[in-house]
Amino acid sequence: MSTVDLWIAFFGLMLVSIFTRTSLLLLGSKFPIPETVHEFLRYAPTAALIAIVLPEVLFMKDPATQLFELNLYSPQIFGAIGGVIGFLLTRSILATIFVGMLFFTLARMVM
């Protein structure tokens, strides 16, 4: 792709980012969101985070097909278990990352 084409692509993607992130935040004053709907939308962020994290933990990407394959015996699983333990003991994000990386690295050395 030429430099000009690349920048056209970037510019369009920038508009896409802005549009998706602000769409209903901007339109909302014309279409107010009812309180009951808002109450259930509160479950959206956790679900999105789960769907971002889970493929990194429970699955391995097959290099040939680029498909996710379930793998329940991986350093990532031990890392995630370590992370949860770290969080429950300290309630700190930093400790979650530290203990998780420790478990993950140790598991990779052993496995």
Partner 1 sequence: MVESSPGIVAWSLVTSISLLSAGLSPVDTFWFNIMVYAGSSQLAVMPLINGDYPFWTIWLTGMIVMSRFIIFSATIQPHFKQYSFLQRLGIGTINTDMSFAKFIEKFPSPNNSDGSHTQILYFLGMILAHWIFWQIGALIAIFFGSDIPSSWGLGFAGPLALLALIVPAIKHKTAVVSALVAAITCMLTVNLPYRLTIVCSVFAAVFAAVLMDKKFPQRRA
**Which of 73, 96 has the CB closer to partner 1?**
96
100 touching partner 1, by CB under 8 A? yes
Report 25-84 residues binding partner 1 (CB under 8 A).
Answer: 25-26, 28-29, 32-33, 35, 38-59, 67-68, 70, 75-76, 79-80, 83-84
Is residue 62 within 8 A of residue 69, CB to CB? The reply is yes
| CA 1 from centroid of its chain's CA atoms | 29
Two tokens at 16? 């896409």
Is residue 59 within 8 A of residue 68, CB to CB? The reply is yes
SS3 41: helix
- Strand locations in 1-111 (E): 59-61, 68-70
104 touching partner 1, by CB under 8 A? yes
State the residues that interact with partner 1 by CB under 8 A.
1, 5-6, 8-14, 16-26, 28-29, 32-33, 35, 38-59, 67-68, 70, 75-76, 79-80, 83-84, 87-88, 91-94, 96-97, 100-101, 104-105, 108
